[in-house]
Amino acid sequence: MRAYLFLICPVLLFLGGSYLLPFLGIMQLSFTDPEPGLGQYSHVLSDPLTLSVIWRTLRICVIVTAVSVAAAYIITLLWVRGRPLVRSLTELCIMIPFWISVLSRAFGWMSMLSNRGLLNTWLKDLGLIETSLQLTRNEFAVIIGMSHYLIPFAVFPLATAMRNVDERVLTAADGMGASRMRIFWQVFLPMTASGIMGATLLVFVFSVGFFVTPALLGGGQSVLIAELIYLWIFQIPQWGMAAAMSVILMLAVGGILVLLMRRYGEMAK
């Protein structure tokens, strides 16, 4: 036990110095700038513009989480249960995105979805549209870009759950005359519920703090919380507001994280 504590203490000290101390400083700033009190929190929770950003962030994060987990589930099925060639190709498609930076991916989607991008150009050449579709500087582009980045992260918890499925249960269901669709919906899917919960937890927490992709693909028309905090710090000198929003975001994500982890623990038992 002592050896375990000796090994874990440096990690705890590092995490405390890297995360806890800066967070305490941000919390202090949220109560003292520009004046001591709860004025910053009151303004954040009552300002219509700020509330609209909060609700937009939650809405987009929920949609991105649903899209990412659903797409990752299909990809993971091919990776875990597909034929050898399909597994190899799927694994390559999962790993390659990790070699590309988030900034490069965002610019790639901008070149694909912009008014003069590849998609609009192809649709015009095929005669399907006459004027360019507005596919960037909106929530659609933000959802596409964020989902594309987060799908690979959702694959791994799903893969762990799928590999832990007892094949004997599936064989028994097949032997009892159940169709493949029924086996999937009533046997396989419930047995991978812990992986779905883990992927949902991971993707949602990542998506709440996204900055680069919404800033580029949203073009200032779909501002999320992280971008609003950036504006308050670097363009509009309201450090107290930015600190208050950061604390609220941290506590909200922490609360959601605790609830989902409890649920995940119950499902993993």
- pLDDT (0 to 100) of residue 180: 85
Answer for the pair 164, 231: CB distance below 8 angstroms, yes or no: no
- pLDDT (0 to 100) of residue 14: 81
Q: Which of 73 and 35 is assigned the larger pLDDT? A: 73
Structure tokens at 37: 């009190």
Percent of the chain clearing pLDDT 90 (strictly above)? 22
Our measurement of the distance from residue 74's CA atom to the centroid of its chain's CA atoms, rounded to an integer in Å, reads 17
Q: What is the mean pLDDT of residues 137-162?
A: 92
Q: Which of 86 and 35 is assigned the larger pLDDT? A: 86
- pLDDT (0 to 100) of residue 25: 86
Q: How confident is the model at residue 17 (pLDDT cuts 50, 70, 90)?
A: confident
Contacts 24+ apart (CB under 8 A), 162-169: 162/76, 162/77, 162/80, 162/81, 162/192, 162/195, 163/80, 165/191, 165/192, 166/191
pLDDT greater than 90 at residue 148? yes
Per residue in 224-236, pLDDT tens?
A: 998 999 888 888 8
Q: How confident is the model at residue 266 (pLDDT cuts 50, 70, 90)?
A: low
Distance (Å) of CA 230 to CA 41, 43, 141, 223: 17, 17, 20, 11
- pLDDT (0 to 100) of residue 239: 87
- pLDDT (0 to 100) of residue 114: 87
Cis peptide before 152 (omega within 30 of 0): no
pLDDT greater than 60 at residue 119? yes
Average pLDDT for the chain: 86
Q: CA-CA distance, 86 to 75, in Å (whole number)?
A: 10
Rounded to 10 deg, the angle between the 84-95 and 139-163 helix axes is 130
- pLDDT (0 to 100) of residue 251: 85
Per residue in 166-176, pLDDT tens?
A: 888 888 888 88
pTM, to two decimals: 0.88
Q: What is the mean pLDDT of residues 150-155?
A: 94
What residue spans define the domains of the chain? 26-268
- pLDDT (0 to 100) of residue 132: 83
Q: CA-CA distance, 229 to 214, in Å (whole number)?
A: 13
- pLDDT (0 to 100) of residue 143: 94
From the options 2.60.130.10, 1.10.3720.10, 1.10.10.10, 2.40.160.40, give the CATH code of 26-268: 1.10.3720.10
pLDDT greater than 70 at residue 265? no
- pLDDT (0 to 100) of residue 254: 82
Answer for the pair 210, 146: CB distance below 8 angstroms, yes or no: yes
Q: What is the mean pLDDT of residues 23-39?
A: 84
Q: CA-CA distance, 154 to 200, in Å (whole number)?
A: 7
Look up residue 36 and give its DSSP letter.
S
- pLDDT (0 to 100) of residue 199: 92
Q: How confident is the model at residue 101 (pLDDT cuts 50, 70, 90)?
A: confident
Q: How confident is the model at residue 8 (pLDDT cuts 50, 70, 90)?
A: confident
pLDDT greater than 70 at residue 78? yes
Beta strands in the chain (DSSP E): none
